[in-house]
Structure 1
Amino acid sequence: MSLTRRRLLSLFAGLAAAAGLSAFWASRMRTYEGPVSDHFDGTRFYDPDGSPPKSLGEVLRWQFGPDRQRQPWPEWAQSPYADTPPPRVTGDKVRLSFVGHASWLIQASGLNILIDPVWSDRASPFTFAGPKRHNAPGIAFDALPPVDIALVSHGHYDHLDVATLSKLTQKFSPRVITPLGNDATMRSADSSIRAEAFDWHHRIELGNGVAVTLVPTRHWSARGLFDRNKSLWASFVLETPAGKLYIVCDSGYGDGKHFRRVAEAHGPLRLVILPIGAYEPRWFMRDQHMNPEDAVKALADCGAAQALAHHHGTFQLTDEAIDAPVIALGEALDTAKIPRERFVALKPGQVVEI
């Protein structure tokens, strides 16, 4: 059997399984119900300044087109770093520990806040298939301090990991702050998850002078084949004693207006976390995922004093090599005449304090 035929059979088997899983969950999941707005039509969410997700035909063109150049990743690429965080961080300091992909632990004002926590081996609805980790989390789960808050940006499996949220709930019972509709996904899987869902531009007090605002981002959301954009997606602006942190978990660039609007509404920004990976091929990924050149433009647009990179090097979601985003980030910074130390790509387990 040819490689292309095997890949086709594998894809169709996966689609059939996903369709069955989607139909099963659709039969038992509640979906968001609320008033029509400028980004919700009564059934699905949309970005007035964005683009809809790609069609199944375009997915097949990407996967099986004659020009596809998927770069191989090493089976395992362990980070040389591992973090054991302190129980709490107080005063005017903020401590950021990179867990991997889009997961972070942010410690500020005595609060421990996780961003898009994923400790599972796969970013997938299945335990036996789908993108698999290529390195361990930068913080071992058992080394986590007491978790007070989890911010979950949207429903894609590399950001909303129900298994991890359930483990966090069993151990710490944190508040889980998420955009509209994702609370239904969480509670359908585990009713004990303390999910609180909010719309764009809502500001939520987290305690101890820390607050978070959900802001629009250029992306989309789905868990299966039949729930596209039935839950909302967002980025976060986190107010801390060290200044405002702009956390962009997943986003395309577009014309940059999303980033400029955050600067206008929430600036000045002390630090921005920007995705730099999962961007090839560009014809397919451009609308929803930035490449490093886009991320450098986003830094200029939002005007943050410092930037950290994420969404690279852990799960192979797209076609670029494992080290391509970090190499391209350095080149894009040099081209833009921005010092490389202003926009840094950490490895899992590395820590930054501000």
Structure 2
Amino acid sequence: MHLSVLLAGTSNSVLNQGFSWAFEHHSSIKFVNASLGSSCSANAAWVVATKDIENFDFVIIDLTNNDEHQYTHGHTSVDRVLNSIFTLVEMCAEKNVIPVVVSFPRVLYFEAKRPIHDAVLSACRRLGIATFDMYSVIERAFRCSVYPVAIDTYFMDEAHLKPVISRFLGYKLITILNEIKASGKVSSENVAQSFRRIIYNDFSNIAGSEGLVRESRIVAQKFSLLLLDRMYVSPINTAGDIVALHSNAAESCAGIYIDGKRAMGPNPESLGEKRWKLLSVIRPLPNPISASESVGIHIDDEKSLGEECKYEIAGIVVQSNTITEALKVSSTPLSNMEISNRFSFDILNELNVIAAG
């Protein structure tokens, strides 16, 4: 049985020979990786707008790792993250696709509160959405290990599992996805859940800007090049709050203002990632900006970065003012499950052997 999988994630889903590698190199899987490293859950809006979701059996949503970190620093909220997740979940239901929400862990949050993770998994359990809680898997493996391991033994750094660990978990998830697909026809139902849809607005062709295309191994993206001392005006397709910006952080060396309000400062990655030319990221605005029919945009000079003042923008994410009272959710007989609970002692022991080795 062949699977088709769309992966909507962040950096854990793009690391070389990591989680996505298990899908990319599986002979019976059609796979598309729509992940953007360093991004947030607002990436869901970009996936909905740019990917043909109906062509897949599953959409894997790995979008909470960075949100937890951004929430800790006051850059997002629980409601904004849930609105992003629900928007993608509903689109899956409309296209008869099964969503699977994956929570990649960070070392810090094994000992700290994780309100984003808890809120997302609680909502998914209540609504019957399949979840894969990697915190639970790592915690269970750690408790039963006969090897001298610590939590950080499973990690490459603070925010990323070791690629060999991620790849192992990817292979195990593939086995379970095959079981879910074999369990029956996809059905959908409306459940009581209020949320505000998030909508991606393409700004890659802003009037008066220079258009350009950047491409990497993972993604090809169009951008508008914004220059100093110019005002740009672009329409938006819904009234609401601008909650995130999609930009090329590696080539954006300016602060950006929307309707006269400071939206985001200069990106430090414009120095550290300059050699790559492309770091396509969707990041939350600490203070959302209300907008209706169009927005005016300009950038300011940031000489401290020592770079030419410019900004490469691909789009903005708007959280609609309209509150939707029901959420459409798709399922199969086996899809309402916590995938982490399917990991037996033998699998956890195998994971510990890999970690200790």
Pairwise same-fold verdict (TM > 0.5):
no
- When Rg is computed on C-alpha atoms for both structures, the one with the higher figure is 2
Q: Which protein has the bigger strand share? A: 2
TM-score under structure 1 normalisation?
0.26
Q: Which protein has the bigger helix share? A: 2
TM-score under structure 2 normalisation?
0.26
Q: Which has the higher contact order (CA 8 A, sep 6+)?
A: 2
